[in-house]
Structure 1
Amino acid sequence: MRGARIGRWVVAGLMTALALATIYPLLFTANAAMKTRHEYILDRFSPATSVRWENLATAWTSAGMARYLANSFIVVTGAVLLLLLFGSMAGFALSHVRFRGSRALFLGCLAALFVPFQVIMVPLVRTMADVGLVDTYPGLILAYVAQFLPFTIFLMTTYYSGVPADLVDAARIDGNSLYGVYRRIMLPIGAPALLSVGVLDALFCWNDVLIALLMMPSAEHRTLMVGVTVLRGQYSADIPTFASGVLIAAVPVLAVYLFFQRRIADAVTAGSTKG
């Protein structure tokens, strides 16, 4: 009994230390964003004496964070919608529609999860350049779909595999086509999984730097995370302004995570169980 209690205290202590190590960089960034350059140079670890909104305003306007934020919203929204559409359709087909090669196709999607983007980035960018999609919103959206679709298909196939086949058969007997079964039965049933996977896909696309950096070379089309990396070079001597840009980029991600944290946990564990 005493050993179990000690074990719980040890686990609680380790989790508390991990939480503090995770939260501290965010608190440090927020504190640095509220300082002047002079205050930061004198003591970077001391608490800010006042809230200096002008640093956030400078990062928002002069550094172009507003434009980068709009670019990210456009790209992430388009990519997530396509990922959910194609992922849910493929998940339904691979779990309930029997056709030759369906098993091999699912294993191919599963294998694609283990291919690093660095392996395919050169042919991907060259192909996109050949068809004129580099430095365009559709090009980056399609690149995100190609990169994260295997993950979406895997989770949706796993989720839909838990739906009884009798339900699909009954809908077909009632006169529904495959598309009718997908639209009237599978989409409503898969709504919780779609929300969970959509949140994860949105976080993946939002936090991406490498794909966006390759596909969007011009300053006008930079996404928010690429803008933050560029901001580090432009304001290397003005850390409070750079910290303000990092804070602006982190707030949407934190909001999504705090609001959908249960859904994110469900999506992460979706591949381990069925039903």
Structure 2
Amino acid sequence: MPGMRLSRWLLAVPMSLLALATIYPLLFTANVAMKTRRDYILDRFSLTDALRWDNISTAWNSAGMSRYFVNSLLVVALSVVLLLLLGSMAGFALSQLRFRGSSALFLGCLAGLFVPFQVVMVPLARIMADTALIDTYPGLILVYVAQFLPFTVFLMTSYYKMIPSEIIDAARIDGNSVYGVYRRIMLPLGTPALLSVGILNTLFCWNDVLMALVMMPSAEHRTLMVGVTSLRGQYSDDIPTFASGVLIAAIPVLVVYLFLQRQIADGVAAGSTKG
């Protein structure tokens, strides 16, 4: 019994320190956002004596964070819908429909997981410029879909492989076409995986800076994370306003993690199960 208690303490102490190290930057940012510029200059580490929302209001209205927020919502929502649609279709085809070259196609999708955006950034930017998709919402959406589709296909294929083929055969005997099997059988059965991979893709797209920075050079079309980086230069002498912008960008991600952490963990583990 003493040995078990000691092992629990040995696990609990470093995990508690890790949790504290993770939470502290957010608490520090929230504390700075509630200070005046004068209070921050005098003592940046002291606790604020009152809840002041002026900095958040300035960041939201004057610094354009409200526009950036709407831009991010639009791009992320459409990107995730396309990713789920294409990823679920490809996962169904690669896991349940046998056709020539399916294994090679799946390996090609896996290979896409190992290609970072920095490798294809320059040629992709040129292609987008030649097709007049630079600084447009469809251009950024297509980039997000292309970048995160291999991950989505991999998870959906792994999940759909666990569904017995007898269910598919029975649906085909009942007169369903391939599209009918996908719509009536695979989509309902794949809801847990779709929810998990949808949450993960939402976080990936929401937190992206590099792709949005390359594809959206104008201030009007900036996403929220790019807008936050621009605040650092615009409000270099007003750190509380900059911290307010960071807080605005972090709150949606924090809410997703707090309420959907189980689905996120399921999505991370979905590809580790063999069919």
TM-score range, shorter chain: over 0.9
Q: How does 1:52-131 map to 2 (within 5 A)?
A: 52-131=52-131
**Corresponding residue of 1:146:** 146
Deviation at 1:36? 0.4
**Which SS does the other structure have where 2:7 is aligned?**
helix
Distance in 1 separating the partners of 2:107 and 2:8: 40
Distance in 2 separating the partners of 1:194 and 1:259: 17
Distance in 2 separating the partners of 1:119 and 1:6: 48
Distance in 2 separating the partners of 1:111 and 1:137: 27
Q: Deviations over 1:190-226 (max 9, x none)?
A: 0111000000000000000000000000000000000
Runs of 4 or more consecutive aligned structure 1 residues displaced over 4 Å after TM superposition: none
Deviation at 1:273? 1.4
**Which SS does the other structure have where 1:217 is aligned?**
coil
Distance in 1 separating the partners of 2:19 and 2:257: 15
**Corresponding residue of 2:244:** 244
**Which SS does the other structure have where 1:272 is aligned?**
coil
Deviation at 1:274? 4.2
Distance in 1 separating the partners of 2:193 and 2:99: 24
**Which SS does the other structure have where 1:100 is aligned?**
coil
Identical pairs, percent: 75
Residue identity opposite 2:252 in structure 1: P
Residue identity opposite 1:119 in structure 2: V
**Corresponding residue of 1:209:** 209
**Corresponding residue of 2:184:** 184
**Corresponding residue of 2:35:** 35
Deviation at 1:271? 0.9
**Corresponding residue of 1:165:** 165
Residue identity opposite 2:191 in structure 1: A
Mark the runs of 5 or more structure 1 residues left unpaired by the alignment. Answer: none
Distance in 2 separating the partners of 1:176 and 1:158: 23
Residue identity opposite 2:37 in structure 1: R
Mark the runs of 5 or more structure 2 residues left unpaired by the alignment. Answer: none
**Corresponding residue of 1:227:** 227
Distance in 2 separating the partners of 1:206 and 1:39: 32
**Which SS does the other structure have where 1:220 is aligned?**
helix
Distance in 2 separating the partners of 1:227 and 1:52: 22
Distance in 2 separating the partners of 1:2 and 1:114: 46
Distance in 1 separating the partners of 2:185 and 2:124: 36
TM-score for both structures, normalised by structure 2: 0.99
Deviation at 1:2? 3.2
Deviation at 1:251? 0.6
Distance in 2 separating the partners of 1:258 and 1:141: 27
**Corresponding residue of 1:263:** 263
**Corresponding residue of 2:13:** 13
Deviation at 1:4? 3.3
Deviation at 1:3? 3.1
Distance in 2 separating the partners of 1:27 and 1:158: 38
Distance in 2 separating the partners of 1:274 and 1:199: 22
**Corresponding residue of 2:23:** 23
**Corresponding residue of 2:49:** 49
Deviation at 1:253? 0.7
Residue identity opposite 2:125 in structure 1: V
